[in-house]
Chains A and B, each alone.
Chain A
Amino acid sequence: MLKVLGVLLVWSGCVLWGMRAAAVLYRRGKMLDDIGRGLELLERDLALSRDAMPELLKRASHRKTQQGKWLFLNCMAELEKGNSFADSWHAALDKSDLTRQDRDLLAGLSHVMGRFETDGQVQALSRLRVVLERHTEHIRRQAQSMGKVYSALGVTVGGFVSLMLV
């Protein structure tokens, strides 16, 4: 009985590992998509209101979805400490669950926001969104293909280890 239970535990553990690896990929795509929408809101708001960064970030963070919201909120919290926008944006990215690759992609914004005329900032946001969309699409495709691989790998490895134990 104990042996059966052990085999079941090992198998389900491997299956869960595979599913988790797949979920991480799916979540990464969703997170980037969410940040992209936040940036779109920021871009449109800046073009229309030409407001100051704290107000723009505050409005961009008034969204129901989590990741984009926390990125902007964390950036605002850093600004309130009296840090520069570049340092605040980097700190906010570091606090997020984004991968190094994603963070590097978004980090470029720190050298543009609040430093140039409105049109220049809007253009930079627009360009970043295009690049981000392409990157997100790539991650999404990767999640679709690799997600299935990870899930199948979990089931197979689980089955194989279980067989070995039996």
Chain B
Amino acid sequence: MESYRQAVGVLPQPLRAQALAVDELVMARTEEVRLRVGMPPTLVLPEGEWPIPGAVPVDTGLLGQVVELASRWSLHTVLEQLRRGYLTVEGGHRLGLCGTAVMEGGTIHALRDLSGANLRVARQKKGIAGPTAAVLCGEGQLPNTLILAPPGAGKTTLLRDLIRCLSSGEVGRPVRVAVADERGELAALWHGRPSMDLGSCTDILDSCPKALAIPMLLRGMNPHVIAVDEITDREDIAAMEQAVGCGVALLATAHGSGPEDLKRRPIYWEMVRKRIFQVLVTIRVEEGRRVIQTDAMERFLC
């Protein structure tokens, strides 16, 4: 509930007051707040989207105000994130944005005429990774593990708790975990202090592209495990390949609805083919419940 209250802090008044006036049970279960131009703002719960009572339809001015508040009146500090279509706010909540992309030299220079925003409420769920961590560390050392799940299934939440379990020694002895937190969602660093509990032996490199962060962490922090969220680029894979060769275990997440996506996406297939990961953890949502499954990556090679 506190996470929800903190997340809706980026909404301007009176929408913020309306979002805070909903039932506490709804607050506790809200996963996202959706703002679409011309439509009333909605709350995303596991069972579907519900309009915020009393809220008027969203206009572009309101979206501009949301971005201003989320960037703490400082667009210059979040321009790089905005170019990638999102920005992370205090507490690790992520504000995804849609609009018209302004292109320059083949890359996105800015977003104008905002048409929609998605405020994802970041929550720490301590203990959810316990059984998975026990399975992964069953043979003593953590194997290179890839967490694969569709957006919103809880990859980042699971990864965050796995890091905490490993770093705080909940399974075996504590290990040094270095986190390349490119989007600032895993630790939600705020003035150097993590807003999320990632355990006592965790080092966090925030806002740095994974491909640069991984070699930096390897050189400087002497980690046992390197954790990264959402692999998207070939550069990320190349950096992870280097880390594997250095005897460091990898923990990573990627978007995918199931193991079959490993073969569909060339970038994932490259990871499988190069045998970077030994274990695949998938998350499925069945009847509103999340089911976590662990498999050996070898199974998907043929």
* Residue in B16, B65, B73 whose beta carbon sits within 8 Å of that of A114 in the complex: B73
8 A Cβ contacts from B76-106 to A: 76-77, 79
Q: Which residues of B contact A115 (CB under 8 A)?
A: 68, 75
In chain A, positions 40-74 with a C-beta closer than 8 Å to chain B are 50-54
Q: Is B232 an interface residue (CB 8 A)?
A: no
Name which residue of chain A comes closest to B65, CB basis.
A84
Q: A53-B73, A53-B74, A82-B13 are in contact. Are A117 and B68 (CB under 8 A)?
A: no
Cβ of A156 < 8 Å from any Cβ of B?
no
Max count, chain B CB within 10 A of own CB: residue among A52, A54, A79: A52
C-alpha gap A84/B174 in the complex (Å): 46
Contact of B76 among A84, A88, A117 (CB under 8 A): A117
In this complex, how many residues of chain B approach chain A with their Cβ under 8 Å: the count is 14
> CA separation between A88 and B73, bound complex, in Å?
11
Q: Does A85 contact B (CB under 8 A)?
A: yes
Residues of B within 8 A of A54 (CB): 72-73
Asked if B256 CB lies within 8 Å of chain A CBs, one says no
Which residues 20-74 of B have a CB within 8 angstroms of A?
65, 68-69, 71-74
Q: Which of A79-131 contact B (CB under 8 A)?
A: 79, 82, 84-85, 88, 113-118, 121
Q: How far is the CA of A53 from the CA of B73 in the complex (A)?
A: 6
Contact B16 A82 (CB under 8 A): yes
B12 CB within 8 Å of chain A? yes
Contact A84 B77 (CB under 8 A): no
* Inter-chain contact B73/A52, CB cutoff 8 Å: yes
Interface residues on A, range: 10 to 19
Residues from chain A with a CB closer than 8 A to the CB of B16 are 82
B72's partner among A50, A53, A117, A121 (CB-CB below 8 A) is A53
Residue of chain B at shortest CB distance from A46 = B76
Q: Are A117 and B79 within 8 A (Cβ)?
A: yes
Q: Are A84 and B68 in contact (CB under 8 A)?
A: yes
A50 to B75, CA, bound (A): 10
Q: Is the CB of B76 within 8 A of A116?
A: yes
Is the beta-carbon distance between B13 and A52 smaller than 8 angstroms? no
List the B residue with the shortest CB-CB distance to A121: B76
A53 CB contacts on chain B under 8 angstroms: 72-74
Q: Which residues of A contact B76 (CB under 8 A)?
A: 50, 114, 116-118, 121
Least CB distance, A141 to chain B, in whole angstroms: 36
Query: B245 to chain A: closest CB distance in Å?
Result: 36
In angstroms, how far is the closest chain B Cβ from the Cβ of A28?
29
- Nearest A residue to B110 via CB reads A117
* Complex contacts, B72 vs chain A, CB 8 Å: 52-54
Closest B residue to A117 by CB, please name it: B76
CA distance A84 to B16 in the complex (A): 14
Q: Which residues of B contact A118 (CB under 8 A)?
A: 76
Task: Given A84-B68, A114-B68, decide whether A51 and B12 contact each other with a Cβ distance below 8 A.
Answer: no
CB atoms of A51 and B73 under 8 A apart: no
* Cβ contact of A82, chosen from B12, B71, B75, B77, cutoff 8 A: B12
Question: Which residues of A are found within 8 Å of B12, using beta-carbon distances?
Answer: 82
- Checking B13, B68, B79 against A85 with a beta-carbon cut-off of 8 angstroms, the contacting residue is B68
Q: Which 3 A-B pairs have the closest CB atoms?
A: A52-B74, A114-B73, A53-B73
